[in-house]
Amino acid sequence: MLDKINPTKTESWKKLKNLGSISDLKSLFKNDSNRSKKYSLSNDGLFVDFSKNLIDDKILDLLFNLSKECKLKDAINKQFDGENINETEDRAVLHTALRSFDKKSPFFKNIKQDREKIKNLSNNILNGNYLTSNGKRFTDVVNIGIGGSDLGPTMVVEALKYYKTNLNIHFISNVDGDHVTEVLKNLNPETTFFIIVSKTFTTQETISNALTVKDWFCKKLDEKDIQTHFAAVSTNLEAVKDFGINPDFVFPMYNFVGGRFSLWGTVGISISLAIGYENFEQLLRGANSMDFHFKNTPFEKNIPVILALISIWYNNFNNVESEAIIPYTEYLKYLPSYLQQAIMESNGKSVDRNGEKINYQTGNIIWGGSGTNAQHAFFQLIHQGTKLIPCDFIGFKKSLYGNTSHQNKLLSNFIGQTEALLNGKSLEEVKKELIMSGLTTKKIDEISPFKAFEGNKPSNTILFESLTPKSIGMLIAMYEHKIFVQGVIWNIFSFDQWGVELGKKLAAKLLTEINSGKLKSHDKSTESLLKNLRL
């Protein structure tokens, strides 16, 4: 069990509250020529510059003390050792075990067996040893799942598209019938392999989609061909059997891995098919390298710990509500929505580990988009809006196809934006520029306030050599550990998600009413909405 320490009662929290914010980031750089070096870290090909944050040594020291007072080290050990730290579900939290290569790691035997099974299926399908029911090669794979059974694979398959095998991977998640129809309309059931991913095998969206796909499949092929064309990843073996899936194609999931942390194991079969097993293993090795760094590095040099603490500084002591994730590669366009689930489903909690209502801020709001597209969309608000929005800029030194001319432009924007956020542009600079352009003094006075940038806006720069399965593994694991650190300090349970249950139950009740046309009594707004549907 994790300790249950109210962070607001610690000495460090009280001191941090009394410190007051820093607003002049530019001066911090002027007064310390060593700042960027002092506030940067490297690990296994990853470079993180956190110098452009509204922090100084005093703040950082207090944040490190806060983590010590909240027994962070002890919590990390308990997580890796497999203690049941997910108390409300009485489960361990061992997604780290899914990417461990250490024989002594918990459940290593099972996990190794699963990897062998993933490898065999991937290799056999990819090299044509395993064929369709009509003896052809598979051309397409469809992953049917939602939430953690979809977002991780969707994001990683897109992120590692450069390493693509000859299989085309598709994802069906939404219960919106148009989604499944759109995906199926371009597919040939004869050459498609389906993976139904659902820990519970009861999730409305996934089961509805799986049954629709089964119907569509059986219109062209025989029901017995399901045995050749379908696999399932689940803990609900009974339901999987009832669906008609070949027991050899059933892959286990574990209660010690939450859906949003599950891409590293059997949920990642679509990833392995998309990029080949060797690359999938590199993804795991990248995450494992980050696990090693997180577990063994003193907090003062620990990348996920530092990123988490800085974010706590903004969230709890500077009234910051959101964080933007800006990857400078189109390959990572799904990273913000993946992290939305990982971060907001984990730390969007308002009851602490003692069961008490919380009176401080917890989970951040996560949003973002790929650079440079985002610059032409929401960057206006980050640069000149009234809200303080710390940004993570994620970049890669080399482009994958080696287009240097584009890469130089991309990197100029990547660095240029963080420079602009830091330094801004003073009224004087704006006026000087306008004088040069020949405007009248009256016009200059009128227009210049709108063209000035305050600057002093914080950002982290997260930089890898190139986009590889290993670097993506490291990046995701870095954020997973950041989530963990924040949850420990906020004294919440990060690994349950009771907040998604109520809506599910109400939707199930409403479905009965909608299907039967017999509406029960609801609040007036809901009643009028139901009438509006004219069902």
200 binds ligand F6P (CB under 6 A): yes
Nearer Cβ to ligand F6P (49/345): 345
Q: Which region among 103-111, 146-154, 349-357, 486-494 touches ligand F6P (by CB under 6 A)?
A: 146-154
Sequence-ordered alpha helix ranges (H) in 392-440: 404-423, 427-436
268 binds ligand F6P (CB under 6 A): no
206 binds ligand F6P (CB under 6 A): yes
Q: How far is the CB of 260 from ligand F6P (least distance, A)?
A: 6
Q: Which of 259, 265, 369, 487 binds ligand F6P (CB under 6 A)?
A: 259
Using CB under 6 A as the binding criterion, the count of chain residues that bind ligand F6P stands at 13
Which value, to the nearest 10 degrees, does the dihedral of the CA atoms of residues 115, 116, 121, 122 take?
60
Beta bridge pairs of residue 172: 144
Alpha carbons 222 and 331: distance in angstroms, whole number: 38
Q: How far is the CB of 162 from ligand F6P (least distance, A)?
A: 27
Q: Position 523: which residue type?
A: D
What the block records as the tokens of 209 is: 């989609």
Q: How far is the CB of 109 from ligand F6P (least distance, A)?
A: 24
SS3 140: strand
CA atoms in the 13 A half-sphere facing the CB of 473: 28
189 binds ligand F6P (CB under 6 A): no
Q: Which residues contact 204 (CB under 8 A, 6 or more apart)?
A: 175, 504, 507, 508
Q: Which of 260, 349, 383, 481 binds ligand F6P (CB under 6 A)?
A: 260
Q: Position 168: which residue type?
A: N
Q: How far is the CB of 209 from ligand F6P (least distance, A)?
A: 11
146 binds ligand F6P (CB under 6 A): yes
How many Cβ atoms are within 10 Å of 33's Cβ, its own excluded?
9
Q: How far is the CB of 190 from ligand F6P (least distance, A)?
A: 27
Q: Which of 7, 25, 100, 147 binds ligand F6P (CB under 6 A)?
A: 147
Alpha carbons 266 and 268: distance in angstroms, whole number: 5
148 binds ligand F6P (CB under 6 A): yes
Nearer Cβ to ligand F6P (150/281): 150
From residue 93 to residue 132, the character string flagging contacts with ligand F6P as x (rule: CB under 6 A) and all else as - is ----------------------------------------
Residue numbers annotated as active site:
345, 376, 504
What the block records as the tokens of 64 is: 């490190």
CA atoms in the 13 A half-sphere facing the CB of 49: 17
199 binds ligand F6P (CB under 6 A): yes
Q: If residue 231 lies in a helix (H) or strand (E), which one and from where to where?
A: strand 230-234
**Binding to ligand F6P in span 455-514, by CB under 6 A:** 497, 500
Q: Position 435: which residue type?
A: I
Q: Which of 198, 302, 329, 418 binds ligand F6P (CB under 6 A)?
A: 198
Q: How far is the CB of 420 from ligand F6P (least distance, A)?
A: 37
SS3 227: helix
SS3 32: coil
Find, among 151, 162, 143, 191, the residue nearest to 276 by Cα. Answer: 162
Nearer Cβ to ligand F6P (279/347): 347
- Pairing state between β 168-172 and 140-144: parallel
Nearer Cβ to ligand F6P (89/190): 89
Q: If residue 63 lies in a helix (H) or strand (E), which one and from where to where?
A: helix 57-69
143 binds ligand F6P (CB under 6 A): no
Q: How far is the CB of 246 from ligand F6P (least distance, A)?
A: 20
Binding site for ligand F6P (CB under 6 A): 146-149, 198-200, 203, 206, 259-260, 497, 500
